[in-house]
Structure 1
Amino acid sequence: MFWNEVYKGTPPWDLDHPQSAFQALIQSGEIRPGRALDIGCGRGENAIMLAMSGCDVTGMDLAENAISDARAKAVERHIKVNFVVGNVLQMDRFFKEGEFDVVIDSGLFHVMTDEERPVFTQQVHRILREGGKYFMLCFSDKEPGEYELPRRLSKAEIESTFSPLFNIVYIKDAVFDSLLSPSSRKAYLLSATRN
């Protein structure tokens, strides 16, 4: 499977620290203690940070290699996080409706195809409680790039995808930290609440 192969090495988004955009959300109080889900959690840095800030956290990823590394990292740091291997397009098989207060997405939505996006949006909506918050960090259309993936998204695309099921609080310029040079990529940070 593609994602498992990717995690046999160190993909460019696999930092040994959480994304600064999510750290800022905790520091500002936008993310408060509650039940949190990190989708596409990779090796777990963002999920572990959420747990350290008082959240009851689940991390989910398709890549078994990434999840086993994330579990080991959490044990090593004495942090409790529930890591599960699973497909975010089938979260209804794993979680109850309204199970989470917060869902974070660091670089997952921008790898979705046009066909997957509506399914993804419905799945995120379903697992969030009413008024629950979704925070998403993705490459923005301001980031130059000759590669097809990850897609660079416009504010309009993000709005049209999420606005039917979510109240968009903001879509603002942010940075996506990576191991590539330069280490900061132009990104959008979405804050949205479930209708």
Structure 2
Amino acid sequence: MFWDEVYKGTPPWDIDHPQPAFQALIESGEIRPGRALDIGCGRGENAIMLAKNGCDVTGIDLAKDAISDAKAKAIERHVKVNFIVGNVLEMDQLFTEDEFDIVIDSGLFHVITDEERLLFTRHVHKVLKEGGKYFMLCFSDKEPGEYELPRRASKAEIESTFSPLFNIIYIKDVIFDSLLNPGRRQAYLLSATKS
């Protein structure tokens, strides 16, 4: 599988610390303790940060190696996180409706195809409690690049994808930290609540 191959090495997004945009959400109080789901969690840095800040966290990723590494990292850091291998497009088989207060997405939305976006949005909506918060970090259309993936999303695309099922609080310019051009990749951070 593609994602398992990627995690045999160190992918550019595997920065060995949480994304600064998510750290800022905790520092500002926008993310508070509660049941949290990190979708596309990779090797678990963001999930571990949430757990250290009082959240009851589940992390899900397709890549078995990434999940194995995340589990080992959580044990090493004395943090309890439920890491599972799974497909976010099949979350209805893994989680109950209204299970989570918070869902975070660091770099998953921008690798999902147009055809998968509606299903993806429905799944995120379903697992969130009423009024639950969804925070999504993706490359913005301001980020230069000729590569097909990760795709660059516009504010209009993000709005049209999520506004049918979510109240959009903001979409703001942030940095997506990466091993390629650290601290300089243009991104959007979406804050939305389940409507």
Task: Specify the SS of the correspondent of 1:151.
Answer: coil
- TM-score, length-normalised on structure 2? 0.99
TM-superposed deviation, 1:15: 1.0
CA distance in 2 between counterparts of 1:34 and 1:41 reads 17
Partner of 1:107: 107
> 1:182 and 1:26, CA in 2 relative to 1: closer, same or farther beyond 3 A?
closer
In the alignment, the residues of structure 1 paired with residue 116 and residue 93 of structure 2 have an alpha-carbon distance, to the nearest angstrom, of 17
Could you report, residue by residue, the CA deviation over 1:155-195 in whole angstroms, capped at 9, with x for unpaired residues?
A: 00000000000000000000000001254200000000001
C-alpha separation in 1, matches of 2:181 and 2:133: 32
Contact 2:175 2:183 in 1 (8 A): no
Residue type of the partner of 1:50?
Answer: L
Number of positions where the alignment pairs a residue of Structure 1 with one of Structure 2: 195
Q: Deviations over 1:5-31 (max 9, x none)?
A: 000000000011000000000000000
The match for 1:132 is 132
2:157 aligned partner, one-letter code: E
Q: Which runs of 4+ in 1 moved over 2 A?
A: 181-184
Corresponding residue of 2:117:
117
The answer to whether the aligner puts 1:91 opposite 2:91 as a matched pair is: yes
Segments of structure 1 that go 5 or more residues without pairing to the other structure are: none
For 1:194, the aligned partner's letter is K
Unaligned runs of 5+ in 2: none
Q: Which residue in the other structure is 1:54 paired with?
A: 54
Match status 1:175 vs 2:175: yes
User: SS at the partner of 2:114?
Assistant: coil
Matches of 2:182 and 2:62 in 1, distance apart?
A: 28
1:44 corresponding residue in structure 2: 44
Normalised to the residue count of structure 1, the TM-score between the two structures is 0.99
Per the alignment, residue 191 of structure 2 pairs with 191
The letter for the 1-side match of 2:150 is: P
For 2:187 and 2:19, locate their aligned partners in 1 and report how far apart those are by CA, in whole Å: 12
SS at 1:115's partner residue? helix
Residue in 2 aligned with 1:16? 16
1:28-62 per-position Cα deviation (integer Å, ceiling 9, x unaligned): 00000000000000000000000000000000000
